[in-house]
A and B are shown apart, each in its own frame.
Chain A
Amino acid sequence: MSEFKVKTGLAQMLKGGVIMDVVTPEQAIIAERAGACAVMALERIPADMRKSGQVCRMSDPRMIKEIMEAVSIPVMAKVRIGHFVEAQILEELQVDYIDESEVLTPADWTHHIEKHNFKVPFVCGAKDLGEALRRINEGAAMIRTKGEAGTGDVSEAVKHITKIKAEIQQYKENLKTESDFAAKATELRVPVDLLKTTLSEGKLPVVNFAAGGVATPADAALLMQLGCEGVFVGSGIFKSSDPEKLACAIVEATTHYDNPAKLLQISSDLGDLMGGISIQSINEAGGKNGARLSEIGW
């Protein structure tokens, strides 16, 4: 468990920061210069993956390596849900964090990776408290919302962080006896101790970041005000007309998330933002625009 403390402690260092998806060393340098606390090295950004309908896998380690060499901030990379060999490979590459991500095509529809078996810290997505605690119980050192990556629609991320907070509040009030706790822990499929710690602290035992659909400084500040401890930005930045400016603005907004005057200043004159695709239209298209990513993982 002490190793788990080291890993969650590492993730604590990202608190208040912005992690940006990048597909080239050039983009990684822009992200670093804009003040990103880490970058996520990808072959393609989620907005393009969604469109393709193809199988999405771990990126070429050579490409990740080039990004690692281009910047001095931590580099994260994604593996498929349950693909523990992709994780072994990225650990060997010495990336700083691994994201076991629903954005890629799952390799196992029943088992997530046993993350306690690794030295490298993992981040995982969660849309409710049970999912967050199951991932933490498997060894995740960091949680993020499972907003709809590649859409530029912030509403799912908002839903997930609100839900987790509401559940913590509700269980805190309603669970009284030992048997209440035990029953809820069984229902959520997590150890009762983990549930108790979470409820007594009133928050998850690891950092919880916003991810999926964040496209503007106002989106980032919204999620921070809702209780997120940092922000992942994917397609939003490099699908906009002035990535450098937008990247800086989102970093500023995440830092000064409760300062409206500052938010007004940095939200002005950002050029064309990511067009995106609304979540409603994904639902209406009945799968034609790809499935809902937040439905993947359990």
Chain B
Amino acid sequence: MTGEDFKIKSGLAQMLKGGVIMDVVTPEQAKIAEKSGACAVMALESIPADMRKSGKVCRMSDPKMIKDIMNSVSIPVMAKVRIGHFVEAQIIEALEVDYIDESEVLTPADWTHHIEKDKFKVPFVCGAKDLGEALRRINEGAAMIRTKGEAGTGDVSEAVKHIRRITEEIKACQQLKSEDDIAKVAEEMRVPVSLLKDVLEKGKLPVVNFAAGGVATPADAALLMQLGCDGVFVGSGIFKSSNPVRLATAVVEATTHFDNPSKLLEVSSDLGELMGGVSIESISHASNGVRLSEIGW
């Protein structure tokens, strides 16, 4: 990867730190998100909760629709492409979106190769459920990582699992004594030794790591921040609730004041009907579709 480009791209992503990125499907929703203090919006044709239900192939959104959203707000706009679909990424780059999410929420276009992200000028965000997956994505050029919690469920437990696992794996690898041991783990993870070493030295990923998937309440956002996430993606949670403006503001506040219980109490009160969601346990049993975190590798 070209070092300078990567520095610029991961530096851009650093600017989102401490912020909340919200899924929106219309310019009106984008405006609500901006007004509530979102640091960016993710432009989508339908939100993950509805995609899950449809069982259809989910693709890049119509660029015209993304353009409409870009024209309606001044904060950065992200858009999703299918895993491995580098042409969708070329199209979105030409549209000049601010970030691209190569996302397991859409139907993968390639079950072996992810996009070679260091060929693009636009920064990419990718999901990861463990350290190896995070480092493979970073090695391909991802400038930002997020957990792969179960989008569209309103169940936060998968996102919790992923951030905890990455933290624990970094700690465990830091105990490795010899060069050989580190080389072996790097090989297992299919990443360059230098990248792994860099992570172990700093004790964290070289790019920001956001929480994503299943975040539905201010308490969920604060939980993931306390567990070490650098910011939060909120999807279906906000616009599936009875009072989106109020909830959006509350999630932003909770992400900023994540370790201030009295503030968290204040913003958690009287939020109206929250997203009903579907518990992850019930997905394992039933016909609610497959587990998204199993997609991507």
Contacts and interface: CB of A to CB of B under 8 A. Distances in A.
Given A89-B265, A107-B156, A287-B286, A55 B271 contact: no
B157 A109 contact: yes
Nearest to B259: A88
Nearest to B286: A287
Interface stretch (A22-30, A58-66, A69-77): A58-66
Contacts of A91: 261
Contacts of A108: 157, 160-161, 164
B107 interface: no
Contacts of B262: 92
A92 B157 contact: no
Interface stretch (A79-87, A126-134, A222-230): A79-87
Interface residues of A, number: 33
Interface in B242-276: 258, 261-262, 264-265, 268-271, 274-276
Interface in B174-228: 216-217, 219-220, 222-223, 226
Contact of B264 (A53, A85, A286, A290): A85
A183 interface: no
Nearest to A109: B157
A54 B276 CA distance: 5
Most buried by A among B156, B258, B274, B285: B156
Nearest to A94: B265
A57 B217 CA distance: 9
Contact of B270 (A62, A110, A286): A62
A162 interface: no
A281 interface: no
B288 to A, nearest CB: 9
B277 interface: yes
Contact of A111 (B164, B268, B278): B164
Contacts of A169: none
A264 interface: no
A85 B279 contact: no
B36 interface: no
A88 B261 contact: yes
B268 A61 contact: yes
Contact of B285 (A57, A86, A88, A287): A287
A105 interface: yes
Contact of B281 (A82, A83, A85, A291): A291
A105 B277 CA distance: 11
A54 B278 contact: yes
Contacts of A65: 269
A85 B251 CA distance: 13
A60 B241 CA distance: 14
Contacts of B153: 55
A93 interface: yes
B261 A53 contact: no
Main secondary structure of the interface of A (DSSP, over half): loop
Number of contact residues on B: which range applies? Answer: 35 or more
A85 B217 CA distance: 11
A241 interface: no
B155 A105 contact: yes
Given A57-B217, A60-B271, A105-B279, A110 B161 contact: yes
A52 interface: yes
A98 B23 CA distance: 33
Contacts of B71: none
Contacts of B226: 84-85
Contacts of A287: 282, 285-286
A108 B277 CA distance: 17
Contact of A55 (B154, B160, B164, B264): B154
Interface in B134-158: 153-157
B161 A52 contact: no
A92 B261 contact: yes
A106 interface: yes
Contacts of B282: 53, 287, 290-291
Nearest to B279: A105
Given A61-B265, A61-B268, A105-B155, 13 more contacts: A54-B278, A55-B154, A55-B155, A57-B216, A57-B217, A58-B219, A60-B271, A85-B258, A86-B219, A86-B223, A107-B160, A111-B164, A296-B281
The 4 A-B residue pairs with the shortest CB-CB distance in the complex, in nearest-first order: A55-B277, A287-B285, A92-B261, A85-B223
